[in-house]
Structure 1
Amino acid sequence: MAETIYSFKAYAHEKELAMAAQALIRAHPCLRMAAGEDGALGWKRHMGYKLASYRNNLAKAGVAEVAINTGRRSRNNPNNDHPHQNIKKARKAEVNYITNLPKDQTPATLEKMREQIMHEVEKTERNYLVIGKLMDTTYALRRQEIVGAVGAPRVRDVVDRWPALLMESQVVAEFHRINNVNLRTQFYKELDRHMPRLITLFRDKAIKTGKIAEELAKLMRIYDIQEQRDVNTRRALVLRALPVYLREDASTLFRTCDSADGPDLTDTPVALLTVVTDDTTDSALFSPESICIVVEDEILLNGPTNLADSFLLLFGYIYALDLQYPKKLELTFTFIQKVVMCLEDNKPLKGRLLTLKNDLFNE
């Protein structure tokens, strides 16, 4: 049972262990225990212990996904980290959070491939097929450097070593390597599906009173005067209004700067920086001249002028670089993860997010 559970998830949640225990006694009623109303409570606890023991054996064998959490505090190592502190595991529903190196590769051979990637990226005419194959092969090395480092590595250091991550195609490809999900296809399919209902909810909120209603009403007025309201404009409206509707500070995500002045990016974990001029400030909300993707106070990439595409790449970078959601925008990014990208981490939605999801699906 422990081996089977591990094949799905290394660190199973209590609810998942309960489901496995119930499946066990349904298949074998003679194993039903007296403890617990459903007779599965004891088996849930036993599976938890066995799964922990199984992970320990795999860690001793060198399996990267669990070996990364070895060397914790113990009687023989009293100065190490607490056994339950800073455990490195998938927290945003990543499927391939960290993996072992390919069987026929060593760190030395993969390092040569990394150098080859740098050489290919520097070429005027890049061979995107070669870059993609090399990035696929070196994925395990890259994840071990990003996830397995003592302390989170600086984003600038990561992209300096792996410059292919500054290519839009490789951001999308890296997301697929981590989640086995096509970032662009899934994002637009679900966003467009929920878009009419979301716009209706935003308009209903905008006619009410209060600060949130006023901000939404302003966005709606600017949207309504747009000469061209195509699908890209509607997507931009939804993405800009979503954090406002969830009562989060959208100004920390959508930043603007004058083209003549350098932007102040101090204390900016992630942001989409729009370059505007004095006479295009309002219209730039939906038709920007240019958008820069900012991560850790630095402009990482001059993204596409399409706001939805830029937001999509920013979301991809959060997974590719193993970043945490900004605290001031946690609800917004959690909504994108669970409702738009359908990446479920078995943590129940609460409060405003649960209300919004119920409003979406209970028309």
Structure 2
Amino acid sequence: MKSLSMPHPRDDCSTPCSLADTDILSSAESTSSDSSLRSQPWPLKFQIPEFSYEVQFQLEQGNQAFLNNGTLLHPSTKLKSDILQSLASEMAKYKIYPSSAEFDNVAEALITKYPCLKEKGSVTGYYGWKISLKYKMANYRTRLRNIGCQELTINSVKEKRSGMGPGPNQVKKPRKAEVNFCPDYPPGETKESLEEERKALLLEVKKKNNDQLIKRKMEKTFAYRRQEIIKGMPFIAEVKNRWPALFSETEVVAEFTRITMVPLLSTFMAKLDRYADHLLRVFKKKGGTAKRNINLIMAAMDGNPSVDVRRECILKAVCVYLNEKPDDLFKEFLDVDLGASRETEQLTLGVYVVRHEGADSADTPEDIGVIIEGCTVLQALSDMAKGCALLLGLIYSLNLSYPKHLKYTFEFLQKVLMELDGNNLSMKVQVLKNKLLE
């Protein structure tokens, strides 16, 4: 998706430390019993793993001394390395590239469980542990890359020099709380065997009443498809040609769940309805031009109080509240508009609705769909809110960046409604969230 992808700074890795390859493989495979996929996002409260008997014995002795007379443990180089190695291995089960806040979570959890490891010279009591853990995690990434972990080999110098990568100083890694960003192939599968599955899938899409078979094949080829999209960054038209099954409501929802481990439509609609009254209350307090524009949007609810119209109006009002234009996200056309097809071909990304000439908001639209890079990727949707949710799902499925002119709206959808990376908000979205929770 070259037209929507964005460059990112490279993550520099330190010199690898000594670690058996089998230990890395076992920790990576332990994330799922039957595939290479991770099964859960970063935990709300990080659980410190059980260390080896030798390490556990020393830490328990240190804790006892701390409880008896307040003596802090000064770990030896080996003990500290063993602790950090176990923590890095546990963190990799959730994320290969943890954020600074997540390093804080782990370091704080460590000294909470083992207060004897607190640092006197640190305000938090764990700052040194956090820095050491960052270095250890960088070393661990290097070792994983060397044994072929796809989530890391895509950022290797060799891969970038081969022309697959966008540049030597850009790192492809999760940016939107993806749990399975670039997974490895399922055990026993190769690129060639999965390509055969893809070809078989092309035939199955043309048949009727075989949704379950398509679903199984889409699940089996997920890692192959994901690597192809992330490494090659193909245009939407090319993805549609190679993976037509992906562009259906059912598979967009399934793909989003594979990537984030969060159900798309049920979560999106439930949170939107949950916050609806709070959002309406916040909108009423808005002043100036934004208030007038929001009132014009909300007027549609007077003629049609259905839940679909209510959701659509609220989503448009969120755009206005965040100083963005709802017309950039939601496009309306008349079925007699001869220039509509030309205009849609110029759209980078959006949800469109086609209405009959002379129809009002209470009438059923002729069509609702999603457009990306000028291509109609979904059609015949039931309502605009669903179109917005599926557009978010496609952004994840196709590894797209949010358009700059709608970045706050999509941040709200991702982090407030879907609660993906919800603790890392921009000031503008944080203010709105605070008002919702008052």
**Residue 15 in structure 1 maps to residue 101 in structure 2:** yes
Report the more deviating stretch, 245-254 or 263-272.
263-272
Alignment of 1:47-196 (within 5 A): 47-71=133-157, 85-123=169-207, 125-149=208-232, 152-196=233-277
Gaps of 5+ in 2: 1-86
Q: How many angstroms apart in 2 are the aligned matches of 1:47 and 1:245?
A: 40
Alignment of 1:335-354 (within 5 A): 335-344=412-421, 346-347=423-424, 349-354=425-430
Note if contact 1:252-1:271 (Cα within 8 Å) is conserved in structure 2: yes
Letter of the structure 2 residue corresponding to residue 235 of structure 1: R
- Equivalenced residue count is 347
| RMSD value, Cα | 2.3
Counterpart in 2 of 1:225? 303
Measured after TM superposition, the shift of residue 182 of structure 1 is 1.1
Letter of the structure 1 residue corresponding to residue 194 of structure 2: L
Measured after TM superposition, the shift of residue 329 of structure 1 is 0.7
Q: How many angstroms apart in 2 are the aligned matches of 1:154 and 1:262?
A: 24
Q: How many angstroms apart in 2 are the aligned matches of 1:351 and 1:63?
A: 36
Measured after TM superposition, the shift of residue 160 of structure 1 is 0.9
**Percent of paired sites with the same residue:** 36
Aligned match of 1:271 in 344, 350, 368?
A: 350
TM-score (norm 2): 0.75
Measured after TM superposition, the shift of residue 190 of structure 1 is 0.9
Deviations 1:245-280 (A, max 9, x none): 111011111112232314213552211111134423
Measured after TM superposition, the shift of residue 346 of structure 1 is 4.8
Which SS does the other structure have where 1:265 is aligned? helix
Note if contact 1:92-1:345 (Cα within 8 Å) is conserved in structure 2: no
Aligned match of 2:397 in 308, 320, 325?
A: 320
Deviations 1:214-249 (A, max 9, x none): 2111112232123xx122221111112110111101
Q: Which has the larger radius of gyration?
A: 2
Q: How many angstroms apart in 1 are the aligned matches of 2:415 and 2:436?
A: 13
Measured after TM superposition, the shift of residue 72 of structure 1 is 7.0
Letter of the structure 1 residue corresponding to residue 224 of structure 2: L
Q: How many angstroms apart in 2 are the aligned matches of 1:351 and 1:344?
A: 14
Q: How many angstroms apart in 2 are the aligned matches of 1:35 and 1:297?
A: 57
Answer 1 or 2: higher relative contact order, Cα 8 Å, separation at least 6. 2
Deviations 1:158-195 (A, max 9, x none): 12100101221111111111111111111111111111
Q: How many angstroms apart in 2 are the aligned matches of 1:138 and 1:319?
A: 17
Counterpart in 2 of 1:244? 320
Q: How many angstroms apart in 1 are the aligned matches of 2:387 and 2:369?
A: 8
Q: 1:38 to 1:214 in 2, by over 3 A?
A: closer
Counterpart in 1 of 2:411? 334
Q: 1:346 to 1:196 in 2, by over 3 A?
A: closer
Q: How many angstroms apart in 2 are the aligned matches of 1:204 and 1:225?
A: 23
Q: How many angstroms apart in 2 are the aligned matches of 1:258 and 1:32?
A: 66
TM-score (norm 1): 0.89
Note if contact 1:203-1:220 (Cα within 8 Å) is conserved in structure 2: no
Counterpart in 1 of 2:119? 33
Q: How many angstroms apart in 1 are the aligned matches of 2:187 and 2:430?
A: 44
